[in-house]
Amino acid sequence: MLSRSDNKRLSIAIVGGGIGGVALAVGLSRDPGLEVHLFEAVQQFSEIGAGVSFGPNAVRSICLLGLEDAYRSIADSTPPPSEDVWFEWRRWHDDEYLSASLAPGCGQSSVHRADFLDAIVQHLPQGTAHFGKRCITIEQDDDGVTLHFEDGSDFHCDALIGFDGIKSAVREHVLPASQYGDLGPQWSGTYAYRGMIDSDTLASAMQAKGADSRLAVVPQMYLGPDRHILTFPVKHSSLINVVAFITDRSTPNPRLPEGEAWVTGVSQEQMLADFEGWGPASQAILEGIPQPTRWALHDLPQLPHYCRHRVLLAGDAAHAMLPHQGSGAGQALEDAVVLAELLTDADCDREPNVVQRKAGDVYEYAGQDTGRDEHRIKSDLESRFDWIWQHDPLDDVAHAKGQLGWC
């Protein structure tokens, strides 16, 4: 059994090597009083998906974790004079401009997920990460936490952070189904077609259809009944990340067909048929994806709590959400900031001591307060992101320290 060191103030295990888990490990590893181990189920670091957007709050968290240079080296931003644009909002059938959400000083700050993970992994001290370690069971006692892995190995530590995603194994320990029922992923009723397009190719295709080629490089959201399409640049604007959403609202509790995979390859013809009648820009975008993948989007119900003694859930394991406000990865980074600040505090030792579905409804002309009224939609979109972007995770740190009696 690999076990904690008695020479350190605290031994911490992190399960899950995605963006949130790695960011936390980097933050914790800067404290020489901590022993930090990160366990990843697969044989190397990897990220699924393509582009990811970060709002101002997420960028602040990246900076607080000491990862600003790594981020800036790969991050995209919208070219002037649209550098403050988060998204422009347009009508589905004619590309007509409706409004824009602005993030002054930040704009649409985006990266390719795999590139960002690769960049922050470089900051992990050697020996921190362990691969091929799929956690299957967890035990706790007064002396700490023991993780049991599929390969037969174990690890003993003082505290465990579950950053292991929406299908979290750690969540079953914190909230066992025998006691709390099924609190696992639930299908939202929304599918998302995904693809990447060469930016020059997309600009040319838009011009050929009579659309403004500027729409290829400035982040756009095309809104329509039960559907919407988003685009933004990644990889230094050489590629355009595309996600096209379609939602079934015919039942209040949709269920994914039995046996259907969460991610499947589909034909371009099927995707185009789902957006028949949409405007020239949308058609240029979708025709530029010859082999789309279709993702069944899941989230989690509100959990009754997020920790069990020395084991804590974070990131998607705790609050997996739909992507409609671009805040899932950002919230994982905020989790990492708060946990890093608390766990590196000298007072922390071995002694025991959102909304996403509603945003999608607005985009697809189904909002409870907005419906198909474009004036109300415009007003909603202009301020919808303020409560996310203006949030400061250091306020959470101060609140937590107050509750713990550390200040």
CA 303-305-306 angle, to 5 degrees, is 95
- Residue 115: which residues within 8 A CB-CB, separation 6 or more? 74, 234, 235
The gap between the terminal CA atoms of the chain, to the nearest Å, is: 37
Element (H, E) at 295: strand 293-299
In three-state form (DSSP H/G/I as H, E/B as E, the rest C), the secondary structure along 88-105 is EEEECCCCCEEEEEECCC
Active site residue 214: no
CA separation for the pair 268, 396 (Å, rounded) = 45
Half-sphere exposure of 378 (CA within 13 A, CB side): 9
Q: Which helix (H) or strand (E) holds 12?
A: strand 10-15
The amino acid present at 204, given as its one-letter code, is S
Sign of CA dihedral 95, 96, 98, 104: positive
Between CA 400 and CA 407 the distance in angstroms is 10
Measured distance CA(275)–CA(45) in Å, rounded: 36
The Cα diameter of the chain in Å comes to 69
C-alpha–C-alpha distance, residues 171 and 320, integer Å: 12
In degrees and rounded to multiples of 5, residue 273 shows phi and psi of -65, -35
Separation between Cα atoms, residue 301 and residue 156, nearest integer Å: 30
Considering the candidates 91, 194, 308, 376, report the single residue annotated as catalytic. Answer: 194
- Give φ, ψ of 400 to 5 degrees: -65, -40
d(Cα 116, Cα 74) in Å, to the nearest integer?
7
Measured distance CA(291)–CA(269) in Å, rounded? 10
Whether the Cβ atoms of residue 315 and residue 16 lie closer than 8 Å to each other: yes
Around Cβ 298, how many Cβ atoms within 10 Å? 19
Tell me which residues are annotated as active site. 194
